[in-house]
Amino acid sequence: MSVPFDPKELEIVRRQPSFNPAVPGTALFNFPMTEREAYKSTVLNKELVWQPYGVETGFLAPSVIPDNIARGFVFEARRWPEPYTTHDDMFGVNWTYVPTVGGSMETPGIPHPLEDVNDWKTALKWPDPYSWDWDESARINNDNLKNNGKANILWFLNGMGFERLISFMGFENAAMALLDEDQEDALHELLHALTDLHLTLVKLCCDTYGEGLTGFCLHDDWGSQKSPFFSVAAGRDFFVDEWKRFTSYVHSLGRIADLHSCGHIEAQIENIVAGGWDSWTPTWRTSGIRPPARKSSTRRARSSPRSSASPARSALTACTPASP
């Protein structure tokens, strides 16, 4: 998308509110189009208007999805009215909010529902998302989503892969399930069923929020600060095909598919690319993001060439962690 540069783009028109009131908000410039239009141009059409620098997207984690309440992570047009305490996620796994860290963990002392993946069909309480009050969620959110000018991205916080498996089994058992040949077939079945569930959620979300919803961000942390939790081969064998099902369906509905995966997982970049993701949202300081961003420059929107037409856009490029 070729947009002639206007010097008025250098003007700061306002600042985006910061999560920390003591920190000045990020500058918003006199953009030549809405943040939503520019972000969709970059990610879906691979045509850079300006280098995205974090203000283009809106954040949606609606209370209609039980995981967001359980994790203490509701972000929608209406402030969540109650203090986060102890809540069940969509599978009945109980989580307790820890105020000092600003997040939730599975409640200590309550056993995980699953010890062996072979038992998943009887051990897990499978959710029915059609029973949730989507009409109320539309009433709360749709005016804001339609009119805020942002590329609104809905986050699936617990994901449908390794993080979800951890919530079912604990970390040690989840890691062993990737190695145990006796659980392999059942694990493939479970991951396939989890993808089916999330395809249903994607459709319900698109029907509920309409054109105000630009895409989805799926959480699945794959590494520690130093290295991945499992091998590239395990990631490919268990997760990539399910990722491809998810991203293909999201794309078929005209939406963006973003992966959030924390940890130093540079070794897993080939799996992220193979999974069909439009972008990767890591915790960049520990991810090894700079080398993989360059390696994947021909495939990922985040590494699109800079526009040389605008000093303002070049300045915005320098603000993004992904810029060389």
Residue-averaged pLDDT of the chain: 88
Strands 151-156, 57-60: pairing kind: parallel
Provide the terminal-to-terminal Cα distance of the chain, rounded to the nearest Å.
23
Of 105-119, 151-165, 189-203, 293-307, give the lowest mean pLDDT range. 293-307
Burial degree of 54 (CB within 10 A; 0-12, 13-18, 19+)? exposed
Domain ranges of the chain: 1-51+304-324, 56-287
Give the containing element (helix H, strand E) for 15. strand 12-16
Q: What is the CA radius of gyration of the chain?
A: 20
DSSP states of 175-219: HHHTT-HHHHHHHHHHHHHHHHHHHHHHHHHHHHHGGG--EEEEE
Question: What pLDDT, on the 0 to 100 scale, is given for residue 286?
Answer: 65
For 265-311, the three-class secondary structure string (H helix, E strand, C coil) is CHHHHHHHHHCCCCEEECCHHHCCCHHHHHHCCCCCHHHCCCCCCCH
Tell me the pLDDT band of 81, cut-offs 50, 70 and 90.
confident
Contact 57, 64 (CB under 8 A): no
Asked if pLDDT for residue 312 goes beyond 70, the answer is no
Neighbours of 303 (CB within 10 A): 17
Q: What distance in Å separates the CA atoms of residue 315 and residue 50, rounded to the nearest whole number?
A: 9
For residue 288, what pLDDT is reported? 63
Query: Angle at CA 127, nearest 5°, toward 125 and 129?
Result: 175
Residue with the two structure tokens 């892969």: 161
pTM score: 0.86
pLDDT of 307 > 50? The answer is no
pLDDT tens, 37-76?
Answer: 999 999 998 899 998 888 999 999 999 999 999 999 999 9
User: Does the structure show a pLDDT above 80 at 304?
Assistant: no
- The third-level CATH classification (topology) of the domain covering 56-287 is TIM Barrel (3.20.20)
